[in-house]
Chain A
């Protein structure tokens, strides 16, 4: 197995060739925050929280989808990156409708956790109060667009792991939203197997089980990695 060596925050690390920058930062225990990334799913770099500085590169690079390369000199927590991360999280809160106190995901939400991680005590951006619908047509689950951060974990898990490809992204810019089937009510999409994987991996309270009320959502984000290892390497987590 060939290896690449690089420097993360002044520390030398070695990772297998083909590993991502994120894996390299983890080898250096740098705690780079991630939100859209999920082990077992293809990275898409939609949240921008894992941006790092690589010396010699004119732009910031998303660690989750950039390959680690020989000799890279990486910085993960410069003042500029910390400021951008806090701004990014503030923008997530300001551009949706997040009322944590009455949210199904309260206390189990990765966005709420991320606000703590980046030290957000308030939003410097005015709240937008966008008009967004709730799709409650599925017999078991609900999609509340007000809390969706467009991480596309649901899109990817349904496509890559369940193989049903129920979800996609519709529209552009500020109108971007998750669509079921051919932009139909979720409950009418016959491809949905009701497996619940999208609900389990959603980092926020956007997707939830109908039986869950305030603060009752219990996500399960380890499933995609387990299933992928089982399928590709024929290894189960108890083996």
Chain B
């Protein structure tokens, strides 16, 4: 589960599950550090860095934003685990389910998918409201929104909504030389 030695360029992925993309925006806030990063890693999969649609093999490090809320999220999370050395839960949605997880409060958490769809498409709609039905096109919601570590083993947690660019840099920099970051103190750990 440790990244390969720094001789070869590390293969980095960033993944967007059920999140608002704010963690990715924070990643882009790394500004000029992105140039340093580009010298040390190949970005092999990322909604903000590549146009690749299939998660590749032999990824060294993956930053995974977002909770696991639908069948697409679930499938991608399982692929990420299978094909990646070090998986990072990136931001509060991945770490705690956070705001996407609020729908778990509906229907006492049993089938919040049904409850949230009925609320959104029937109760709050005008007279013509109907439940969306597009199998194979719109991914089905899971009954419950889950934090990433309840779906796959996670190697490192980076809380924050979003984690600041500074926090991301402090976490990534040691990984580039095969070290683990020290996840301690308010600068690295605070939720929210």
Contacts and interface: CB of A to CB of B under 8 A. Distances in A.
Interface of A: 93, 97-103, 106-107, 112-113, 115-116, 119-123, 126-127, 129, 131, 215
Contacts of B102: 99
10 contacts: A93-B96, A98-B96, A101-B161, A116-B185, A116-B189, A119-B189, A120-B189, A122-B157, A127-B147, A215-B192
A131 B105 contact: yes
A129 B98 CA distance: 11
Interface in B69-103: 89, 92, 95-99, 101-102
Contacts of B154: 122
Contacts of A129: 101, 104-105, 108-109
Interface residues of B, number: 28
A121 B98 contact: no
Interface in B29-75: none
B99 A127 contact: no
A121 B171 CA distance: 13
Contacts, number: 67
A126 B150 contact: yes
A107 B186 CA distance: 10
Nearest to B161: A101
A98 B92 CA distance: 11
Interface string B167-192: 00000000000000001111001111
Nearest to B105: A129
B89 A115 contact: no
B190 A131 contact: no
Contacts of B185: 116
Contacts of A100: 92, 161, 191-192
Contacts of B95: 121-122
A112 B149 CA distance: 20
A116 B190 contact: yes
Contacts of B108: 129, 131
Contacts of A131: 105, 108
B68 to A, nearest CB: 13
A215 B92 CA distance: 16
Interface string B134-158: 0000000000000101100010010
